[in-house]
């Protein structure tokens, strides 16, 4: 299999926007040539609550559940989950929440986007 470009964005929990502090909570990866869109998420509630003891961790987890549904598509994913993979990726990385924010888009090369996602998740989410 040949090596192909991919794009990814790190999702961040920013419980107190005015302070600008965040915890990485997910990564979304898209590879157009290999028809792949996937995400990995993990909320470390201790770290999030260290930034804000009143943070709505359950709300953050619910939002990440919606991200996962949109990545997978299917009947339970809503209108965004019915779009083409590229449009879903752009929808997922568009800023829409003050508490869960996408980071900048980065690129890489891979022959196996699922393995690349696993590798990124391990390095970003621990």
The 10 Å Cβ neighbour count of residue 109 is 11
Residue bearing the bigger pLDDT, 27 or 74: 27
Report whether 96 contacts 20 (CB < 8 A).
no
- Cα 87 from chain centroid? 14
The boundaries of the domain holding residue 50 are: 4-125
Residue-wise pLDDT tens digits, 9-29: 999 999 999 999 999 999 999
Number of structural domains in the chain: 1
Residue-wise pLDDT tens digits, 107-126: 999 999 999 999 999 999 98
The owner of tokens 């590798």 is 119
């Amino acid at each position: 299999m040949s090596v192909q470009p991919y794009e990814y964005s790190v999702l961040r929990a920013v419980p107190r926007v005015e302070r600008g502090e965040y915890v990485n909570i997910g990564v979304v990866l898209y590879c157009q040539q290999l028809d792949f869109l996937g995400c990995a998420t993990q909320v470390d509630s201790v770290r999030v609550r260290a930034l804000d003891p009143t943070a709505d961790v359950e709300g953050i987890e619910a939002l990440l559940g919606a991200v996962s549904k949109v990545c997978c598509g299917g009947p339970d994913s809503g209108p965004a989950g019915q779009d083409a993979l590229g449009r879903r990726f752009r929808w997922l990385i568009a800023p829409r929440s003050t508490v869960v924010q996408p980071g900048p888009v980065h690129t890489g090369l891979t022959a196996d986007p699922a393995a690349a996602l696993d590798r990124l998740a391990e390095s970003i989410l621990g």
